[in-house]
Amino acid sequence: MEEKGILEVRMMGDFSVAWDGNNICSNPKTPDSQITRLLQVLIYNRKEGVERSKLQSLIFDDSNSDDTGHLLRSVIYNAQKKLEQSDLPHARYIEFRDGRYYWTDDIPVRIDTEIFEHLCIEAELERDPDEKLDKLLKATYAYKGDFLPDQTGLSWVAGEERRLKHIFRLNTEEAAEILRENRDYAGMEKLGSYAVSVCPLDDWETLLVEAYIFTGRLSAAQTLYEKTAERYQKELGIRPVPEQANRIEHLFEQADRTHYNLEDIERDLSEEAADGRGMYCAYPIFRGIYRALIRSLPAQSMPSWLVLCTLKVEKGKAGSVRIDLSDAIAEHMKTAMCESTESCDIVCRFGREQYLILLRNRTDSDCEAIKRRIKEKFEEGEKKSTAVTFSVRKIEGHESDSEGGAL
The CATH number of the domain holding residue 283 is: 3.30.70.270
Instruction: Note whether 225 and 205 are within 8 A (CB).
Output: yes
Instruction: Note whether 284 and 252 are within 8 A (CB).
Output: no
pLDDT of res. 385:
63
How does pLDDT run across 54-76, given as a tens digit for each residue? 888 888 765 555 677 788 889 99
DSSP strands (E only) in 315-364: 320-321, 346-349, 354-359
pTM of the model: 0.68
Q: Is residue 90 located within the same domain as residue 127?
A: no
Buried b (16+ CB within 10 A) or exposed e, 17-34: bbbeeeebbeebeeebeb
Q: Is residue 205 located within the same domain as residue 330?
A: no
C-alpha 326 chain-centroid distance? 17
What are the backbone angles phi and psi of residue 270, rounded to the nearest 5°? -70, 150
pLDDT of res. 396:
72
For residue 263, tell me if it sits in a domain: no
CATH label of the domain that carries residue 198: 1.25.40.10
Domain that holds residue 134: 113-147+170-254
Q: Is residue 83 located within the same domain as residue 34?
A: yes
Banded pLDDT at 109 (limits 50, 70, 90): very high
Q: Would you call 14 helix, strand, or coil by DSSP? A: coil
For residue 12, tell me if it sits in a domain: yes
Comparing 94-103, 151-160, 324-333, which segment has the lowest mean pLDDT? 324-333
pLDDT of res. 363:
87
Q: Is residue 310 located within the same domain as residue 193?
A: no
Q: Is residue 16 located within the same domain as residue 134?
A: no
Q: Is residue 242 located within the same domain as residue 375?
A: no
For residue 267, tell me if it sits in a domain: no
Q: Is residue 304 located within the same domain as residue 191?
A: no
Element of type H or E holding 312: strand 305-314
Q: Is residue 237 located within the same domain as residue 118?
A: yes
How does pLDDT run across 121-175, given as a tens digit for each residue? 999 999 999 999 999 999 999 999 999 998 888 889 999 999 999 999 999 999 9
For residue 268, tell me if it sits in a domain: no
| Residue 20 confidence (pLDDT) above 70 | yes
Q: Is residue 313 located within the same domain as residue 383?
A: yes
- Summarize the confidence of residues 97-113 as an average pLDDT: 93
Banded pLDDT at 245 (limits 50, 70, 90): low
Q: Is residue 98 located within the same domain as residue 132?
A: no
CA distance 170 to 182: 19
Count structural domains, the chain: 3
How does pLDDT run across 155-165, given as a tens digit for each residue? 899 999 999 99
Element of type H or E holding 309: strand 305-314
Q: Is residue 303 located within the same domain as residue 234?
A: no
Closest CA to 166 of 131, 120, 126, 208: 120
